[in-house]
Structure 1
Amino acid sequence: MKRHILKIILGLAVVISLFVWAGCSETSKNRGNLFTEEVTPNIFKGTDTERIHQAIEAARGKSNLVRIPRQNANGTSIWLLDSAILLPSNMTILLDNCTLQLSDKCRDNMFRSDNVGEGISDPVWNHNISIIGTGEVTLKGASNPRATGDYRRLLTLDTQKELEKGNWRVSYGTDAGKEGMKQKGDWRNNMIVMAYVKNFKLKNVNILNSHAWALAFERTWYADLSDIHFYNPEMIDVNGKKMLSANKDGIDILFGCKYFRINNITGMTGDDFIALSSLDVFPDVPKTNGDINSSTVTAGCWSGEVDDTEDIVIKNIDCESVYRGVAIRGSDSAGIHNVYIQDLIFKGLGQKHEAILLGGQGYGKKSVAGKIRNVYGMNVIANGKSLLAVESPVHDCHFSNGILANSKGEGVVYNIEKEEVRNVTADNWGAAGSR
């Protein structure tokens, strides 16, 4: 009997030990999976750009997450990019206390959705792309860029000399005068380009000296942009000499963008801090996707209501700009509507322009009456030329609680006959002490 009980106990012990061993093995296996789920470029070989692309391919369909750490395996603390990082659907890039910089060889974006680019004439939609910074993250333009500015800017090695001659449509670039190199800027000069993307997130990054627009969105739906700081002056230092790097907007929201949430954006830009632009500057010229001779990677024209810009919420903006804090411009039948601006602090460098622009002249055909409508602004503090300028026949736009710190300016400036606008109000809105 005792021997029988002993056999049972020994048998149970063996069974229990097998379960424990199996559990430990499974735990080890799970730990192994957790370990291999973290994909970083440091486990691959090649240039920084090549290693980041290899990491994206390794993560695609598995963890769908790539972490770019502060320390580069090449011994530096910087990731130097020779071409754009192309982002597929369902991909998160975690920027962990790191610095990414465009190299002096690069003539491309820093990040771009992989569904668009030169020669891609029929892009499909991408989904669920995130670029998330943790800690101190910096995205920088090149020290000595090959090209800067928009598609109408001629590259030059001495911008000051050209400006003194009256040639103001110029921008710096080392490709100037080189045979076989494109001699004007284009959409590749924009630091981050997302087009035909649904669900995009960008959070907690510092952006320094982009080559043109810092963030460009085309036909993008459901975007969340937050905790972004810009240092993006027009004049950049190249080998101890100041050079013009033109069209240095912060955020550009273009044709067909919908459902944006923009919050807690700070810093300084050499051009508009935030621009909502639906402009067909040359309406008689055909527009195509993937055209390298453009400031947009998709067709820069309005093709119906699907290309309206709508439902844009802009909150908690503290900015300095030579131009506007928020500029809303549309041409012809392009619609921009349901825009909400709240808590804007605007310092107009040189006090040449207004905190908010409604409309815009000189960008193709005049905006059709009412196509820009339902724009709301509240809690605005500015020291620019004015709080608000109206330049198009806008409808149903309302503003309240605006203080113009310098008493010389006006609360609202109409650069259009007042009879052309409809139902535009500004309450408690004007110079301090005169409201």
Structure 2
Amino acid sequence: MEPVFYVNTYEGKNDDDIISACLRDASYYEKKTIVFSGRDYEINNAVLVDSGMTIIIDGCTIRQRNRAFDNVFRGANIQLDPDNPKNPAINIEQLQNIKIMGRNNAVIEGCSINRCGYHPVLGEEQEMTGDYWGFLTYQLLFVRTEDLEISGLCLKKTRGWAITLDLCEHFWLHDIQIYSEVKNGDGIHLLCGCCHGVIQRIKGVTSDDLIAVQSGFRLDEFPSKNYLAPFYPSRCEYEKRSVRELDCHDIIIRDIFCGGEMHGIILLALNDTCIYNICIENIEDIERGKRYFATVFVYTGIYGTPGSFKDIVVRRVSSLADTAFVSNTSVTNLLLSDITANYENGRLYGTFRGR
């Protein structure tokens, strides 16, 4: 029988120590369940999730301590540079069979007071949130993970993208609420090589895209313009792979309730990669911000040379955006059906030319 470890039965000087003690005991087992329950938890360091681990957050909040600068959950396979953890990872092994499941109004919440730091390019002190400060701003980060399920969570006070997957296969993200206000505050962001996944029953109001699928994103030298640290830790893995291995494909995105700024769902293909076999269906805007350009956006050319798209289905979209469906590129085999524009003077379809 799979052992179950209850975090609230452990002792320590703070919650980071308590969680570490619990994970240490669990590490002796190939399959194990970790339960957060009984009270709220306040952490400064990421909870490192290993293969064969099921995490249950039952009726409580896991909150980042004020001025924390780390993920909330991160794959234990990501070996960061101890001298500068914002740098690309030194090594990333394969992970598999991971579940993070919320029950009874489980919440993951960022800091109430964010850490501040000096931005040398802009020449100012600022909160270390948003895309300028790299992948440690994400609430959940998994790379090279197969058979991953994340569900039942409400993600609030995000410090960057809420959930980020990179080089992940066979994933299921479902029944999640996401609310963000920071710069480039995406909800769910899939990076290179993500494939064979389902994203469903997601609700959120975000300060950027609620769901983004982005293949071929490479930005390896920092600072790059205003970006001080990498968006992804996995440069060491990208360098081993062919362009085709960085494609994103065979992904279903369905039953999405979105709103906020920028776009509901965006597909971005860059640097000769391809996004293909994508089904986007049952998408409903629940509100819009001041700049809500498109509910579904198919886009290439930013952050690098263009990529390509093929076999894309978009159907049953109810839009409050300026335009329901926008593309700046050609798509091989595109099906659009049952698209409605409900915003005053909103358009069904449009094109876009970047700066």
Q: Mapping of 1:193-342 within 5 angstroms?
A: 193-233=141-181, 245-280=182-217, 282=219, 285=221, 293-299=229-235, 303-342=242-281
Once the two structures are TM-superposed, the CA of residue 335 in structure 1 deviates from its matched residue by: 1.3
Q: Which amino acid aligns with 1:209?
A: K
- 1:381-405 per-residue CA deviation (whole Å, 9 max, x = no partner) reads 0111101111123221111001100
The number of equivalent residue pairs is: 334
Quick check: 2:158–2:185 contact (8 Å CA) kept in 1? yes
Tell me how far apart the structure 2 counterparts of residues 50 and 338 of structure 1 sit (CA, whole Å). Answer: 44
- Say which structure is richer in helix: 1
Tell me how far apart the structure 2 counterparts of residues 213 and 155 of structure 1 sit (CA, whole Å). Answer: 24
1:133 is matched with 102
Evaluate the alpha carbon distance shift between residue 115 and residue 63 of structure 1 in structure 2; reply closer, same or farther with a 3 A threshold.
Answer: closer
- Say which structure is richer in strand: 2
Once the two structures are TM-superposed, the CA of residue 365 in structure 1 deviates from its matched residue by: 1.3
- 1:307-356 per-residue CA deviation (whole Å, 9 max, x = no partner) reads 11011101110111211110011112111111101100123322540111
Quick check: 1:40–1:52 contact (8 Å CA) kept in 2? no
2:293 is matched with 353
- 1:108-165 per-residue CA deviation (whole Å, 9 max, x = no partner) reads 00000011142343311101111011111010000111159xx9996955xxxxxxxx
- Flag structure 2 segments of 5+ consecutive residues without an equivalent: 82-88, 223-227
- 1:33-55 per-residue CA deviation (whole Å, 9 max, x = no partner) reads 99xx4311223222212211221
2:86 is matched with none
The alignment partner of 1:107 has SS state of coil
Quick check: 2:270–2:302 contact (8 Å CA) kept in 1? no
1:70 to 10, 25, 38: 38
Evaluate the alpha carbon distance shift between residue 53 and residue 153 of structure 1 in structure 2; reply closer, same or farther with a 3 A threshold.
Answer: farther
- 1:178-221 per-residue CA deviation (whole Å, 9 max, x = no partner) reads xxxxx951100011000000011111000001100000000001
2:44 is matched with 82
Evaluate the alpha carbon distance shift between residue 260 and residue 360 of structure 1 in structure 2; reply closer, same or farther with a 3 A threshold.
Answer: same
Deviation larger for 207-216 or 356-365: 356-365
1:383 is matched with 320
Quick check: 1:147–1:155 contact (8 Å CA) kept in 2? no
The alignment partner of 1:321 has SS state of coil
Tell me how far apart the structure 1 counterparts of residues 331 and 261 of structure 2 sit (CA, whole Å). Answer: 24
Evaluate the alpha carbon distance shift between residue 124 and residue 383 of structure 1 in structure 2; reply closer, same or farther with a 3 A threshold.
Answer: same
Evaluate the alpha carbon distance shift between residue 147 and residue 277 of structure 1 in structure 2; reply closer, same or farther with a 3 A threshold.
Answer: farther
Evaluate the alpha carbon distance shift between residue 363 and residue 393 of structure 1 in structure 2; reply closer, same or farther with a 3 A threshold.
Answer: farther
Quick check: 1:380–1:403 contact (8 Å CA) kept in 2? yes
Evaluate the alpha carbon distance shift between residue 197 and residue 356 of structure 1 in structure 2; reply closer, same or farther with a 3 A threshold.
Answer: same
Tell me how far apart the structure 2 counterparts of residues 270 and 152 of structure 1 sit (CA, whole Å). Answer: 25
Tell me how far apart the structure 1 counterparts of residues 121 and 306 of structure 2 sit (CA, whole Å). Answer: 24
Evaluate the alpha carbon distance shift between residue 303 and residue 173 of structure 1 in structure 2; reply closer, same or farther with a 3 A threshold.
Answer: same
Matching of residue 399 in structure 1 with residue 336 in structure 2: yes
Tell me how far apart the structure 2 counterparts of residues 307 and 232 of structure 1 sit (CA, whole Å). Answer: 28
Quick check: 1:254–1:276 contact (8 Å CA) kept in 2? yes
The structure with the larger Rg is: 1
Evaluate the alpha carbon distance shift between residue 156 and residue 172 of structure 1 in structure 2; reply closer, same or farther with a 3 A threshold.
Answer: farther
1:343 is matched with 282
Once the two structures are TM-superposed, the CA of residue 281 in structure 1 deviates from its matched residue by: 5.5
1:53 is matched with 20
2:84 is matched with none
Quick check: 2:139–2:163 contact (8 Å CA) kept in 1? yes
Evaluate the alpha carbon distance shift between residue 361 and residue 408 of structure 1 in structure 2; reply closer, same or farther with a 3 A threshold.
Answer: farther
Q: Which amino acid aligns with 1:194?
A: F
Tell me how far apart the structure 2 counterparts of residues 308 and 402 of structure 1 sit (CA, whole Å). Answer: 27
Matching of residue 98 in structure 1 with residue 37 in structure 2: no
Quick check: 1:348–1:354 contact (8 Å CA) kept in 2? no
Structure 2 length-normalised TM: 0.87
Structure 1 length-normalised TM: 0.71
Once the two structures are TM-superposed, the CA of residue 303 in structure 1 deviates from its matched residue by: 3.5
Aligned Cα root-mean-square deviation (Å): 2.7
Once the two structures are TM-superposed, the CA of residue 360 in structure 1 deviates from its matched residue by: 3.5
2:93 to 124, 142, 146: 124
Please identify runs of 4+ aligned residues in structure 1 that moved more than 6 A: none
- 1:377-432 per-residue CA deviation (whole Å, 9 max, x = no partner) reads 1100011110111112322111100110025122111236xxxxxxxxxxxxxxxx
Evaluate the alpha carbon distance shift between residue 205 and residue 406 of structure 1 in structure 2; reply closer, same or farther with a 3 A threshold.
Answer: same
Quick check: 2:30–2:52 contact (8 Å CA) kept in 1? no
Once the two structures are TM-superposed, the CA of residue 86 in structure 1 deviates from its matched residue by: 0.4
The alignment partner of 1:136 has SS state of strand
- Flag structure 1 segments of 5+ consecutive residues without an equivalent: 1-32, 72-77, 158-170, 175-182, 234-244, 287-291, 417-435
